[in-house]
Structure 1
Amino acid sequence: MFGKRRAIKKDMDRELLLNIKKMKHEWETLNTIIEQSIEPSEDGLKDLAVVKAKYFYLLREARYRGINALS
């Protein structure tokens, strides 16, 4: 019973790390586009804020769970 829970937790932790990496890449990409724009659109700035918020939420969740990318 406990082995199954650990396996599920391990899978969820792995998925969380993948999502963090994905959000970081998306945030960096959008940030680069916005920085290179002469006049960034309002929608682009909103998208950047949403992706940034999601990224920091995932980081907080990882910290709460005690997940380290090196482990």
Structure 2
Amino acid sequence: MSFRTNQKKKQYEQALLDDIYRLQSEWMQVKDVMERSLDPSIEGEYQLKIAEIKYFFLLKEARRLHLNARQK
């Protein structure tokens, strides 16, 4: 039973790291578009803020789990 728990925990941690990398990329892409835009829209600013909030939320979750990307 312990083996399954460890395996599920490792799968969860890997999925969390994958999501963090994906959201970081998404956030940087939206940020780049907003910086290049001559007249940024309100909707674009909302998308930027949402992407940033999602990214930092997952970082907090990883920190709570004492997860380190170098360990994986």
Letter in 2 for 1:41: S
Identity of aligned residues (%): 34
Moved beyond 3 Å, runs of 4+: none
Q: Which residue of 2 aligns with 1:65?
A: 65
What secondary structure, in the 3-state scheme, does the structure 1 residue paired with 2:53 have?
helix
Post-superposition Cα deviations, 1:11-69, rounded to whole Å, max 9, x if no partner, equal 00000000000000000000000000011010000000000000000000000001100
d(CA) in 1 for partners of 2:57 and 2:2?
28
What SS is found at the alignment partner of 1:67? Answer: coil
Calculate the aligned-residue CA RMSD, in Å: 0.4
Q: Which residue in 1 is equivalent to 2:14?
A: 14
TM-score, L = length of structure 1: 0.98
| Helix, strand or coil at the partner of 2:40 | coil
For residues 20 and 10 of structure 1, what CA distance do their matches in structure 2 show?
Answer: 15
- The SS at the match of 2:70 is coil
Residues 1-71 of structure 1 aligned to structure 2 (within 5 Å)? 1-71=1-71
**Cα distance in 1 for residues equivalent to 2:65 and 2:51:** 21
CA distance in 2, matches of 1:66, 1:11: 15
Q: Any unmatched runs of 5+ in structure 1? A: none
